[in-house]
Structure 1
Amino acid sequence: MISASTLFAKFGAVCRMVKIEHSIFALPFAYLGQFIAAGGIPSLKPFLLLTVAMVAIRSVAMAFNRVIDLPFDSKNPRTQQRPLVTGEITPMQTWFFIAVMAAIFVVACFFINELSFMLSPVALFVAVFYSLLKRFTWLCHFWLGAVLALSPLAGWISVDPQFTVPAVLFAWGILFWVAGFDIIYSCQDMGYDRTAGLHSVPAHFGLESALVISSFCHVVTAIMFLMGGWAAGLGWAYFAVWAVVSGVLFWEHCIISADDMSRVNMAFFTMNGFISVLLFAGALAGIFY
Structure 2
Amino acid sequence: MVLSKIKTYGNLVMFSHTIFSLPFAFVSMLIAANGMPSFRVFFWIAMAFLGARTGANAINRLIDKDIDAKNPRTANRHMPRGAVKIKEVIMLVVISFALLALSAFMLNPLCAALLPVAIFLFILYSYTKRFTWACHIVLGIISGGAPVGAWIAVTGKISWISLVLGAANALWVAGFDIIYGSQDVDFDRKEGLFSIPAVFGIENALIISSLFHAAAVTILIYIYFIAHMSWLFLIGIAIVSILLVIEHKMVSPTNLTNVNIASYGINQIVSIVFLVFSVADIFLMR
What's the Cα RMSD here?
Answer: 1.2
Identify the match of residue 225 of structure 1 among 220, 225, 228. 220
TM-fit CA distance, 1:177: 0.6
CA distance in 2, matches of 1:97, 1:15: 11
Report the counterpart of residue 122 of structure 1 in structure 2.
117
CA distance in 1, matches of 2:89, 2:35: 38
Could you report, residue by residue, the CA deviation over 1:175-199 in whole angstroms, capped at 9, with x for unpaired residues? 1111100000001111100011100
Identify the match of residue 50 of structure 1 among 35, 45, 54. 45
Within 5 Å, give how 1:183-202 maps onto structure 2. 183-202=178-197
TM-fit CA distance, 1:242: 1.0
CA distance in 2, matches of 1:232, 1:123: 26
Could you report, residue by residue, the CA deviation over 1:122-172 in whole angstroms, capped at 9, with x for unpaired residues? 111112210010000000000000000011111111211111111111111
Q: Is the 8 A contact 2:147 2:162 kept in 1?
A: yes
TM-fit CA distance, 1:90: 1.3
Deviates more, 1:250-259 or 1:98-107: 250-259
Identify the match of residue 182 of structure 1 among 167, 177, 180. 177
Could you report, residue by residue, the CA deviation over 1:11-61 in whole angstroms, capped at 9, with x for unpaired residues? 222111101111111111110100011111222221121111111111111
Report the counterpart of residue 76 of structure 2 in structure 1.
81
Structure 1 position 209 matched with structure 2 position 204:
yes
Could you report, residue by residue, the CA deviation over 1:95-140 in whole angstroms, capped at 9, with x for unpaired residues? 1111111001000111112211111111111122100100000000
TM-fit CA distance, 1:66: 0.7
* Structure 2 segments unaligned to the other structure (5+ residues): none
Structure 1 position 16 matched with structure 2 position 11:
yes
The one-letter amino acid of 1:18's match is V
Report the counterpart of residue 25 of structure 1 in structure 2.
20
Structure 1 position 278 matched with structure 2 position 270:
no
CA distance in 2, matches of 1:218, 1:68: 29
Within 5 Å, give how 1:256-271 maps onto structure 2. 256-271=251-266
TM-fit CA distance, 1:281: 1.9
1:188 counterpart SS class? helix
CA distance in 2, matches of 1:206, 1:64: 29
CA distance in 2, matches of 1:274, 1:286: 18
Q: Is the 8 A contact 2:171 2:212 kept in 1?
A: yes
Within 5 Å, give how 1:226-265 maps onto structure 2. 226-265=221-260
Q: Is the 8 A contact 2:21 2:169 kept in 1?
A: no
The one-letter amino acid of 1:151's match is A
The one-letter amino acid of 2:19's match is I
TM-fit CA distance, 1:10: 2.8
Report the counterpart of residue 133 of structure 1 in structure 2.
128
CA distance in 1, matches of 2:170, 2:3: 35
CA distance in 2, matches of 1:184, 1:19: 18
Structure 1 position 163 matched with structure 2 position 171:
no
Report the counterpart of residue 63 of structure 2 in structure 1.
68
The one-letter amino acid of 2:111's match is S
Q: Is the 8 A contact 2:151 2:162 kept in 1?
A: yes
Provide TM-score, normalisation by structure 1. Answer: 0.95
CA distance in 2, matches of 1:224, 1:126: 24
CA distance in 2, matches of 1:240, 1:8: 40
Structure 1 position 108 matched with structure 2 position 103:
yes
CA distance in 1, matches of 2:215, 2:191: 31
CA distance in 2, matches of 1:20, 1:227: 30
